[in-house]
A and B are shown apart, each in its own frame.
Chain A
Amino acid sequence: MKAWSVHLGLLVAVAALALPAGRRTRATAATGGLRVGLVFDVGGLGDKSFNDAAYAGLLRGEKEAGAEIEMLEPSGAADREEALRLFAARGFDLVIGVGFIFSRDIDGVARAYPSVRFACVDYSPPFDGTAIPGNVTGLAFREEEGAFLVGAAAALTSKSGHVGFVGGMDIPLIHKFDAGYRAGVAAVCPTCTVHGTYAGTTPEAFRDPAKGKTIALSQISGGVDVIFHASGSTGHGVFEAAKQHPSVLAIGVDADQWNEAPGKVLTSMTKQADVAVFEAIRATKERRLSSGITVLGLAEGGVDWVHDGPHATLLTAPVVERVEALRREIVAKKRVVPSE
Chain B
Amino acid sequence: MTRHRLIWPLLSIAALLLTNLLISPGFFSINMRDGHLYGSLIDIISFGAPLMLVAIGMTLVIATGGIDLSVGAVAAISGACACLLISKADDQNSLATVLMAIAAALGLSMLCGLWNGVLVAVIGIQPFVATLILMVAGRGIAQLITTGQIITIESSPYKRIGAGYLFALPFSIFIVAGVFVVTALLTRRTALGMLIEAVGGNKEASRLAGVRSRGLIILAYVFSSLCAGIAGVMISSIVSGADGNNAGLWIELDAILAVVIGGTALAGGRFFLAGTIIGAVLIQTLITTIYSIGIPPETNLLFKALVVTLVCLIQSPAFREKAFRLRRKPPLLADTTSPADDQPVKVTA
Do A and B pair up? The answer is: no
The chain A residues found within 8 Å of chain B, CB to CB, are none
The chain B residues found within 8 Å of chain A, CB to CB, are none
